[in-house]
Each structure stands twice: as structure tokens, then as C-alpha cells.
Amino acid sequence: MIDASGGIDSILSDLLVITRELEKYDKEMLGRPSIILLNKVDLPEARSSAKMALDQIEHPRKNVVTASAATGEGIERLLDRIIEVMGDERKK
């Protein structure tokens, strides 16, 4: 989960930090399916930064979700994504 309210540069650098931490902890984790959640999109600046990020993040598009923990917007979609990703993993 990334706070989208700090602007596009902050979103991309936070994502890089998370990726590097995972890589250091266990490289195998980077190969697993993941969902990137861009949070706080109830704030207009966060919403527009999150939209920009969608085009710039190298990740399967359907597993990048914009949402707001404050209003609940996007949480249904997030749950749908989690259920699908976990379901795919269990089939393997």
C-alpha cells in the first residue's frame, strides 16, 4: 500500500523502496503475484498522482488498485483482486 498523497515522485520512489526491501529480504517474493494499492485517492491531488502512476508503474495493470481507506472507494475492487490472485495461486 502506497500513500498517493505525496505526489507522483513520492509514489514511484516508495514503490522502489518496497521492491528493494523485498529483494533484500527474499528475492523469491518478487516473483510472486502482488497487488499495488494506491491509497488516499479521496484527496484530489492523490487521485491525479495515482492516475499518472498507473501509466508509469511496471506491473500488471489489473493488479494496481486505487482506493481510499477514508471513504471506502475502491475497497470492493481491491477485495476482488485479492480473491482472484489468491485463487490463481491455490490452483497451482
Enumerate binding residues for Mg ion (CB under 5 A).
3
Q: 42: which 3 cell numbers?
A: 479521496
Tell me how far, at minimum, the Cβ of 60 lies from ligand GTP, in Å: 23
> Which whole-number Å values give the CA distances from 76 to 9, 11, 23, 24, 88, in the listed order?
27, 22, 29, 32, 18
Q: Rule CB under 6 A: is residue 40 a binding residue for ligand GTP?
A: yes
Q: Rule CB under 6 A: is residue 3 a binding residue for ligand GTP?
A: yes
Q: Which positions lie near ligand GTP, rule CB under 6 A? A: 3, 39-40, 42-43, 68-70
